[in-house]
Structure 1
Amino acid sequence: MIRFLDTVMRLAMVPGKLVSWLVLPLIVFVCLTVLAAKYGLNSFLSWGAPIPLLGQAITVNTLADLQWHIFALIAIFGGIYAYADNQHVSVEVISARFSDRLRSIIAIIGNLFLTLPFCAVVVWYGIPFAGRAYMTGEGSTYGGLFDLWIIKSCLPFAFALLGLVAIVRAAQGLLALARSRETTSSPEEK
């Protein structure tokens, strides 16, 4: 069971690792946008047939949209990676005074009754949100990116993944509590 949970957790971290590489194109896109603004450029490249997400050209507006979308992916999937790796922000000033057992119980309750329901709500509303964008062919109104359903579909996927991480962390916490109870029980209790 522990090995299975660890495998699920490692797999949940893969999108965060992959998306981390988007920092490099993000830097390039920011620099290109700044240079384009300085020199009054609008269009970088154009072609005849539309390409998903980009349409028929790469413009300053395309790069501006890409910057926001890449940043959103880095924030969402990077946050999931940090949460799965237990590197997320927590209130150590308060929890440092608690026993390991109480910290584990609070984490389990938080995962099951705060994180998981929040993720369920975002997935529940995120799927039709992305679906409407797909059905209507939603794109940028000012010549940026097309096919916004691609980025919008990342929202329910990411929160489903975060919900999975919350379930795994709760299960790991329950197993840790069970193990600690076994090791602290006296021989007479066994």
Structure 2
Amino acid sequence: MKKRLIPGFLLSFFLILLFSCGQKPAEYPADELEISVREILELPVYEQVYRDIVYIGEEEKVLFFTTTDKEVLFSVDIRIQAGIKHAEQISISLNAASESGQRTVMVNLPKSEIIFIDADESSIEQYFIKEKGEDISRLEYYDEINRKKEELVQTAIESGLLEYADLNAEKLIGSFLKLAGFETVQFRRFESEN
């Protein structure tokens, strides 16, 4: 009895395996795919963290006497994230299967943009401070950090942050759509409409 059971089980297993591999992939409507892609791309797709050194210095004199002399040197971590800012502009068009049975999809994807920039206050490390006549206010710290943020956004863009974000978005969506059964995924990039 055992000898007949094992070959029968193996034959059944291979038949199930054969027929399950040959099944046609599930059909997904374009609007459902668009919703899924939009939800995925609500997350940032690339991030860089910069550690920047900030110097604040001010000196005031009255009749050759120094009345105010304040200096501070500190470092701070600034995080910049890029991704798809306007995911609602994503559209997907499904192409008919080719003669070979390959299913293709075209994804219209806005180019990546800077979506978040933040200074981590807990990372501030002060190297020296000199306060004579007047203390350095928190507002002066924040003003200088905000000025540095603007500089670092330009540095990040020049170093390719947006291109890396575009590539990551395409990899992420391409992998998702290939899992959904599409053999060929094409991308068309465009500037987003604000």
Q: TM-score, normalised by structure 2?
A: 0.27
Give the helix-richer structure, 1 or 2. Answer: 1
Give the strand-richer structure, 1 or 2. Answer: 2
Specify the structure having the higher radius of gyration (Cα). Answer: 2
Q: TM-score, normalised by structure 1?
A: 0.27
